[in-house]
Amino acid sequence: MDLGVAGSIGVKQISGEIIDAKINEWLVINADVEVIDIKFSASANEEEMVADALIIYRRES
């Protein structure tokens, strides 16, 4: 798969306790972009948990 040049790659960061609805909403709104990858991470302490997603996509040319 040819990823393209850096100028053609975009990223969208989504954060929160529950992010699945936010990710799905972004994907619906941006249905015409080519998603290259989605990276997930989570962190927690005694009081809260936060999940993050980084959507890596090809911008329209």
For 18-53, the pLDDT digits (tens) are 999 999 999 999 999 999 999 999 999 999 999 999
- From residue 10, alpha-carbon distances to 35, 41, 45, 60 in Å are 9, 19, 31, 10
pLDDT digits (tens, 9 = 90+) for 1-23: 565 566 789 999 999 999 999 99
